[in-house]
């Protein structure tokens, strides 16, 4: 299946980041880092990936539950992850 999105991550595969929304196979453009305070400790972060079309849906889903969240471009995700650890 050809997606044909204008993504280029150097030698990284273009589809390394795929939208987390069920049934969506689009390339993710944003990452939502979030935490459920009831089950995750302070330093735990879950990461959902979202394409342009689903960013709002996914973010609203979490925001409606009062989960702390931050939206970052996938291009910044690797940097942040690498520097965290
Ligand atoms: Zn999507």
For residues 62 and 34, the answer to whether their CB atoms sit within 8 Å is: yes
Q: Is residue 7 part of a domain?
A: no
Of the candidates 12, 19, 7, 29, which has an alpha carbon nearest to the alpha carbon of residue 77? 29
For residue 21, report the distance from its CA to the centre of ligand 1, in Å. Answer: 5
For the beta carbon of residue 52, count every other beta carbon within 10 angstroms. Answer: 12
Q: Is residue 5 part of a domain?
A: no
Q: What is the pLDDT of residue 77?
A: 79
Q: What is the pLDDT of residue 82?
A: 45
Domain count, the chain: 1
For residue 29, report the distance from its CA to the centre of ligand 1, in Å. Answer: 9
Quote the pTM value. 0.71
Q: Which range of residues forms the domain containing residue 51?
A: 15-84
Q: Is residue 54 part of a domain?
A: yes
Grouping H, G, I as helix, E, B as strand and the rest as coil, residue 23 is coil
Q: Is residue 66 part of a domain?
A: yes
For residue 23, is it left (φ>0), alpha (ψ between -120 and 50) or beta?
Answer: left
In tens, the pLDDT along 4-18 reads 555 554 444 456 789
In tens, the pLDDT along 32-81 reads 999 999 999 989 999 999 999 999 999 999 999 999 999 999 988 765 44
Q: Is residue 19 part of a domain?
A: yes
In the predicted structure, residue 25 carries a pLDDT above the cut 70 = yes
């Amino acid at each position: 299946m050809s997606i044909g999105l204008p993504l280029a991550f150097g030698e990284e595969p273009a589809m390394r980041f795929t939208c987390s929304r069920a049934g969506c196979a689009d390339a993710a453009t944003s990452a939502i880092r979030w935490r459920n305070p009831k089950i995750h400790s302070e330093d735990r972060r879950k990461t959902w990936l979202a394409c342009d079309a689903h960013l709002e849906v996914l973010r609203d889903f979490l925001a409606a539950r009062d989960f702390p969240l931050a939206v970052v471009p996938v291009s910044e995700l690797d940097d942040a992850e690498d520097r965290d650890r």
